[in-house]
Amino acid sequence: MALLDIKGLRQRFGGVAALDGADVSVEQGRITGLIGPNGAGKTTLFNAVTGALRPDSGTVTFDGTDITGWRPDRLAEIGLSRTFQIARGLAQLTVIENLMLYGKRQQGETFCAAVLRGKAVRAREEELRGRAIEVARELDIIHVGDNRAIDLSGGQKKLLELGRALMAAPKLIMLDEPAAGINPTLAKKLGEHILALKVRGLTFLIVEHNMGLVAALCDHVVVLAQGKRLAEGRFAELRADRRVQDIYMGHRA
């Protein structure tokens, strides 16, 4: 059984069928790539799965649970995270503070906990700080842990975005164009971190236009065109697929 199984997902914007019955499944422990031309519906699919949009129809199953239309905080609780660009307001916070903001919400906060608030909050903060330091170490951004997010390099910002997704201790991380706007050296480094996380047992669904990175990272690739799955397989197979070349690679492969 797939960890994430998307079936017949539809999403319209006025007259545009951004998703027109999309089927995508993501196997546990793999890095799955989602590629396709501009406007194919890749970001819409992410938004419809992660609670930013409510799909018109179709089902999304995660780890055996129907999660169609769930809100992002509930998704994070069952282990599905996605990355977001660092919002302007948070750019003034440090790396560690940014990570702490995205820690898993305290389970079972009760009346008793509320009574003991002072103590509980302090203990919680220490725990979150510990986890944030662990994540920053893992991603090699611990040396800039006390720097403001706004002062980070482009590559470090991408690592911080990944780190925020990791704070929720996810099973699956969805990344929309993780390498966009960073140079090839940093993209390669980001790719190495993603591979290391996969070795540790994490599963990924990645939208990416950088085909070198898709080839290097992805175990399996799904091609989306006009809101539907056109083809899927290993990247090398897809490169040789005439239909894929026609819609996506313009016969370059």
Ligand X SMILES: Nc1ncnc2c1ncn2[C@@H]1O[C@H](COP(=O)(O)OP(=O)(O)OP(=O)(O)O)[C@@H](O)[C@H]1O
Q: Is 209 in the site for Mg ion (CB under 5 A)?
A: no
Q: Of ligand X, Mg ion, none, which one sits near residue 180, judging by CB under 5 to 8 A according to partner kind?
A: none
Return d(Cα 205, Cα 172) in angstroms, integer.
Answer: 8
Question: Which class for 18: exposed (0-12), middle (13-18), buried (19 or more C-beta within 10 A)?
Answer: buried
Q: Is the dihedral of CA 96, 173, 36, 51 positive or negative?
A: negative
Q: Is 51 among the residues that bind ligand X (CB under 6 A)?
A: no
Contact pattern from residue 40 through residue 79 relative to Mg ion, giving x for each residue in contact according to CB under 5 A and a dash for the rest = --xx------------------------------------
Q: Residues binding ligand X: what is the number (CB under 6 A)?
A: 11
Q: Which part of the chain contacts ligand X (CB under 6 A), choosing from 12-20, 24-32, 141-149, 213-221?
A: 12-20
For the bound state, the minimum distance from the C-beta of residue 26 to Mg ion, rounded and expressed in Å, comes to 18
Within 174-203, the residues that bind ligand X by CB under 6 A are none
Tokens of 131: 């986890």
DSSP 105-145: PPTT--HHHHHTHHHHHHHHHHHHHHHHHHHHHHTT-GGGT
Considering only 16, 101, 115, 150, the residue that binds ligand X (CB under 6 A) is 16
Of residues 18-47, which lie at the interface with ligand X (CB under 6 A)? 18, 36, 38-44
Q: What are 224's strand-pairing partners?
A: 229
